[in-house]
Amino acid sequence: MPWRNIRHLMSLWLVVLLFVSCSGETVSHDDPTSSTYQPTPPQPQEVGARLVGPIVYTIDARSRDVWMYFDFARGSVVTVQEPKTEAWDLMFQRYVIKTNGGATNPTGQGALLSMQERDFAAITAVPDKAGFVTDVHPKNRPSSYNPVMESGSITVISPMS
């Protein structure tokens, strides 16, 4: 299986695990001091072909002011000072998840694919005619977002090529 397909499948697992972990929380979402989990310590390093998931990452995105960035190539939360020029794939802030592409970053190559209502365990490859969706910023919204994230379906992230 080519590295690109492995990366897509790992990304899919991460996004699904993030949704599952968020849905079971019983702590107050408005209290930044309350937590029932331990965030995964940032350890950015090139992961290459050895990352074959599923691997669970816990990202502390409770802040209303700070975005947390995740880079699949380094398998970690990463510090980003210039989001339009530095490497990252997903950014998190509370309940918002954005990709590094489209309206969020026109020079980025991140996008999402909706897998609709498929049995997640049965997904072993990215479909040949996958229609990846980049972030958009319509006039009636205060910031960019990815329509795939709002559909509530399983998603795969991809660097577009």
pLDDT tens per residue across span 60-104: 999 999 999 999 888 889 999 999 889 899 999 988 889 999 999
Residues in Cβ contact with 55 at an 8 Å cutoff, skipping those fewer than 6 apart:
10, 13, 14, 75
pTM: 0.68
pLDDT at 100: 92
Q: Who has greater pLDDT, 12 or 106?
A: 106
pLDDT at 66: 93
Q: What are the beta bridge partners of residue 113?
A: 156
Phi, psi of 135 (to 5 degrees): -65, 145
Do the beta carbons of residue 133 and residue 99 sit within 8 Å?
no
Residue 17 has pLDDT above 60, yes or no: no
Residue 116 has pLDDT above 50, yes or no: yes
pLDDT at 119: 72
What's the whole-number average pLDDT of the chain? 75
